Every structure is written in C-alpha cells, then in structure tokens.
Amino acid sequence: MPCAMGFADRDYQRQGPMRPPGRLAGAPVTKWLLISNIAIFLIDLILRPAPPAGAPSWYYEASVLGEVGEFSIDTAILGGQVWRFLTFQFLHASLMHVLFNMWGIFMFGPLLERWFRSKPFAVFYLLTGVAGALFYALLVAMPVFLPDGMIGQRLVGASAGVFGILVGVAVIAPAGEVRLLFPPITMKMRTFALVFLGIEVFIVLTNGGNAGGSAGHLGGALAGFLLMKVGPLRQWLAGLGSGVKRLPRKVVVRQRRRFESKLRPSSSVVDEDPSEVDRILDKINREGLQSLTDDEREVLKRSAGN
C-alpha cells in the first residue's frame, strides 16, 4: 500500500553528523595574524626592489612599507619612532621567511589562544614581539655578543612572537607530541622548544648568520616564558579575557564518533577563578576527562563544592 513520505523524512533533508571543528576554530586572532601577515608580505613584495645577486635568504631590501615599518635601533629607539616595535612584526624578508613564521603561528597559535582566550593571546603575541626587538637592542649594546656595528641593522619578521608562542605551548603542554616531516620523528613539545632555542643560542654566541634575528627570537622566547610562569604577569593577562561576563555558548563535543552541538553554561564559581574552570571544561571537550592533571581535577572538585 503506498505510503506518503513527509518532507522532513527525505534523505536530503536529514541532518548528518556535524563536521569536526577546524584547527582555527575558536582562534580568530590567529586567523587574523595569518591573513594580515600574508597580505602585507604580498604588498611589500610588489613594492620592494629586487635583492642583489647572491644575497643571503635573510637579506631584506626595504620597500615603502619597510622604510616606515622595519625596526632598527637608530630609528625606533634613538629616533623615537616607537611604532616600529609593532610594525616590524608584520614585515618579512622572503617567501620562506613568511611561510616558516606562518606555519608556526598556524600550528601552535590556536592552542595558546584557546587556552588564554583571544584578547590575552593578542597582547601576549605582540608583547613577545616587542621583547624580541628590545633583547636584540640589549645584545647590540653589549658587543661581547653582537658587534656594535649592527646598530643600524634592520629587523623584520614575526619570529619573536612565534618563539613566544612556542614557549607558551611548551609550558602548558610539555608532554604534547610534535611530528616532524624531516627528520620523520616525534618529539615532546618541551624537547621541540629546547632544540630550537639551543640552535638560536648557538647562533648568537658564535655570531653566526642572522645573529641579530636569533637574538630577537630569544627575546620573544624569554618574554613568553616570563608571561607564562610569573604569577602576577599571568594573572594580568588572564584578567584581560574575563572583564566581560560570558554568555552560554555552543561548543562541539565528540560522542560515539559523531559531533553534536551542546550548550554549556558559563561556570558560576565562588572560590575558584571562573576563567580557570572554563579553561578546564574546554580542555575536557577537546581532549577528554583523562587529559586532566591532578591539579585540574582538584580545581573542578572544589568548584563543585565536593
């Protein structure tokens, strides 16, 4: 006997399993950094003159953007053009330079942004970039590390901020694994960060190629470590993301190999920091209950009144 089929019963009207969130989900600042850096590099590339034959990979011939945005001690510090502490972070010397930095932001930026929240992460990133320029200037002022002739050398690139992010992720997830394509090995996040930092220290101590850039990398890493480990600094950053009362928001959780929308209200905790409890709940949604440390479990118990 024929049976009428309702409109909602047809196959093309049924809602299938939701797709898992992408790497940049919940990380708008990371997305903005990727887009802005790539766009500025392309504009700068069009405007800049061609480098001389045989120039090293870090050689940078300034364009109109570079003339007003690059960092050097004589312009940014001695000349008082303080905006260069920020603008140099969005300029890059070469295609490989910008690709490597964007890879670092893409891989590790979302993890730290979701942990910090967007506003604290943006401040963290920019501050580590500024610290990279300051540390470079400090080492130039101490010629035992870098020759004093570098006072006019130009500094460009997001690398100081990238190293700050790298150290930040190594602090919050030291046992996390990083799989390298070359060599094809897996390393702990802490080991991965220490290897890169060791390379930069060696370059600075031996005054190797691009020693000034390596000094900036170390400055960003040092600032990132201090912002993550010094209590008042960490609390100040965390406070930047908790000034506005949070409304219930949709998060995506995995259940039985399907992704479903689930409403999770903001936590209402008296004795515990709400931002810390929300961060732990976000971690459970992403990685499961088994990923919590003993300290995080204790925070949840206290917040529940147990």
Structural domain boundaries enclosing 293: 249-303
| Cis omega (within 30 of 0) for bond into 248 | no
Give yes or no: residues 67 and 210 share one domain. yes
DSSP class per residue in 7-56: GGGSGGGS--PPPPPPTTTT-HHHHHHHHHHHHHHHHHHHHSPPPPTT--
Q: Is 5 helix (H, G, I), strand (E, B) or coil?
A: coil
Least confident of 137-141, 148-152, 162-166, 221-225: 148-152
221 within some domain? yes
pTM of the model: 0.72
Give yes or no: residues 236 and 271 share one domain. no
160 close to 101: Cβ distance less than 8 angstroms: no
Predicted local distance difference test score (pLDDT) of residue 66: 87
* Tokens representing residue 86 in the block: 């920020």
Give yes or no: residues 80 and 161 share one domain. yes
1 within some domain? no
Tell which of 215, 240, 265 closes a domain.
240
Give yes or no: residues 228 and 152 share one domain. yes
CATH number at residue 102: 1.20.1540.10
51 close to 93: Cβ distance less than 8 angstroms: no
pLDDT, the chain, mean? 80
More confident residue, 185 or 21: 185
Arithmetic mean of pLDDT, 111-127:
94
- Residue bearing tokens 């690709």: 99
296 within some domain? yes
More confident residue, 47 or 165: 165
Give yes or no: residues 154 and 126 share one domain. yes
Taking the C-alpha atoms of residue 254 and residue 41, their distance in angstroms, rounded to an integer, is 38
Sorting pLDDT into bands at 50, 70 and 90, what band is 152?
Answer: low
Taking the C-alpha atoms of residue 152 and residue 73, their distance in angstroms, rounded to an integer, is 6
Least confident of 35-39, 185-189, 299-303: 299-303
Give yes or no: residues 92 and 182 share one domain. yes
Q: What percentage of the chain has pLDDT greater than the value 90?
A: 43
Backbone angles phi, psi at 261, to 5 degrees: -80, 135
Tell which of 192, 212, 240 closes a domain.
240
pLDDT digits (tens, 9 = 90+) for 163-210: 999 999 999 999 988 887 777 888 899 999 999 999 999 988 888 778
Give yes or no: residues 210 and 294 share one domain. no
Taking the C-alpha atoms of residue 77 and residue 263, their distance in angstroms, rounded to an integer, is 50
Arithmetic mean of pLDDT, 8-27:
65
Give yes or no: residues 212 and 270 share one domain. no
What is the domain count for the chain?
2
Give yes or no: residues 138 and 184 share one domain. yes
Taking the C-alpha atoms of residue 44 and residue 66, their distance in angstroms, rounded to an integer, is 8
* Tokens representing residue 55 in the block: 């120039």
* Tokens representing residue 33 in the block: 């950094």
18 within some domain? no
Count of other CB atoms within 10 angstroms of residue 183: 6
Arithmetic mean of pLDDT, 262-285:
58
More confident residue, 165 or 151: 165
16 within some domain? no
Predicted local distance difference test score (pLDDT) of residue 257: 45
Predicted local distance difference test score (pLDDT) of residue 249: 42
5 within some domain? no
Arithmetic mean of pLDDT, 65-81:
91
Give yes or no: residues 120 and 254 share one domain. no
228 close to 168: Cβ distance less than 8 angstroms: yes
Sorting pLDDT into bands at 50, 70 and 90, what band is 252?
Answer: very low
101 close to 44: Cβ distance less than 8 angstroms: no
Taking the C-alpha atoms of residue 97 and residue 296, their distance in angstroms, rounded to an integer, is 38
Give yes or no: residues 118 and 135 share one domain. yes
Taking the C-alpha atoms of residue 72 and residue 61, their distance in angstroms, rounded to an integer, is 14
- The torsion angle over the Cα atoms of residues 17, 26, 160 and 53, rounded to 10 degrees, is 50
Q: Does residue 222 surpass a pLDDT of 70?
A: yes
Predicted local distance difference test score (pLDDT) of residue 180: 78
Q: Does residue 304 surpass a pLDDT of 70?
A: no
236 within some domain? yes
8 within some domain? no
Give yes or no: residues 183 and 286 share one domain. no
Tell which of 240, 273, 292 closes a domain.
240
